[in-house]
Amino acid sequence: MSADTQETGRRTVVVTGASAGLGYHAAEQLAAQGHRVVLATRNPDRGAAAERSIRKHVDDADLVHLHLDLADLGSVREAASELPGLGPVHALLNNAGVVGSARPQRTAQGFELQVGTNHLGHFAWTALALPALDQDTGRVVHLGSIAHRFATLDRTDPLAVGRYEGHRQYSRSKLAVMLFGFELAQRLGDAGSRIRSVVAHPGLALDAAAPPRPDVAPTRSEPAWMRAGSGWVAQGKDAGAWPLVHAAVGDGVRSGEYWGPGGPLQFAGPPTLVPARPRAHDRTVAARLWTASERATGVTFALDALG
């Protein structure tokens, strides 16, 4: 674990997409620090496999399961309704997502899959889960990406897809996530809430460069030659999880910050404060996205009740 990530007391952290990739490694690292980890996963079998793997590497890991399918708003509502029964929750690590679907697919409610899962699912989840967060120390961590540098949203309809291309749509979904994360920080502050909204990204993080976890399925297939390039242009998903874990439980993290790898181009390196493109901080675009997201999901934020 990075020396830059300091333990700040035992916390309960909900990690979405904890059964593979960055989410798995973040969950393992949090458990190793002594935190209670809620494994929020879509597939129960993969969730159980992730638990077995974590227990092999972390003695006395404190793990809880929560079924959450971010591509189904009904599942999002049900999962959020179960949070109060878990006791005080200190952080939501909103990691789960779909990366580069080759063909257009839809969520249960008919939204394009990548924006519908990566942004809209987490938008609704966060709104519904905020009341369960510890109101003095709670944090929401949003998984950003260097891919936001290559995207823009439609000026009149920020959820519009237009011509579909898988990786372009992924970039748009991540720009939406980051606009939402930074805007939530502003609105929480305006409401007088102490809950922090933080964005973090993993750099260029590869399963092929991470320590093997045979029980856990890789998030996607990567050619073996990618391992040779790790360390200077990429890093393992275990290292990519460091900024996420630091944003969730590290000392000195403030609302509205953006954490990522400190190396060249933010591809690899230890967690540090990094800049995002101005487009990710555009509050006019963020306001349009917020309104469109509330309309699409039917979920609104009761921020005044948190202050």
pLDDT tens readout for residues 263-277: 888 989 999 999 999
Catalytic residue selected from 24, 164, 170, 258: 170
Q: How confident is the model at residue 3 (pLDDT cuts 50, 70, 90)?
A: very low
The arithmetic mean of pLDDT across residues 196-223, rounded, is: 83
Q: In the numeric block, which tokens belong to residue 91?
A: 């952080």
**Pairing of the two strands 258-261 and 196-200:** parallel
What domains can you pick out in the chain, each with its CATH number?
12-306 (3.40.50.720)
Strands annotated E in the chain: 12-16, 36-41, 62-67, 91-94, 139-143, 196-200, 205-206, 235-236, 258-261, 271-273
Round to whole Å and give the CA distance between 26 and 30: 6
The arithmetic mean of pLDDT across residues 168-190, rounded, is: 97
What pLDDT sits at residue 221? 54
Q: Is 170 a catalytic residue?
A: yes
Inter-residue contact 137 to 13 (CB < 8 Å): no
Instruction: Quote the mean pLDDT of the chain.
Output: 91
What pLDDT sits at residue 208? 81
Q: Closest by alpha carbon to 100, among 197, 165, 181?
A: 165
What pLDDT sits at residue 6? 40
What pLDDT sits at residue 307? 61
SS3 state at 200: strand
Round to whole Å and give the CA distance between 120 and 202: 21
Q: Which residue has the higher pLDDT, 9 or 51?
A: 51
What pLDDT sits at residue 219? 63
The arithmetic mean of pLDDT across residues 191-215, rounded, is: 92
Give yes or no for residue 88 having a pLDDT over 60: yes
CA distances from 259 to 28, 95, 205, 245, 283 (A): 19, 14, 15, 10, 20
Provide the percentage of residues in the chain whose pLDDT is more than 90: 82
Model pLDDT for residues 44-80, shown as the tens digit of each residue: 999 999 999 999 999 999 999 999 999 999 999 999 9
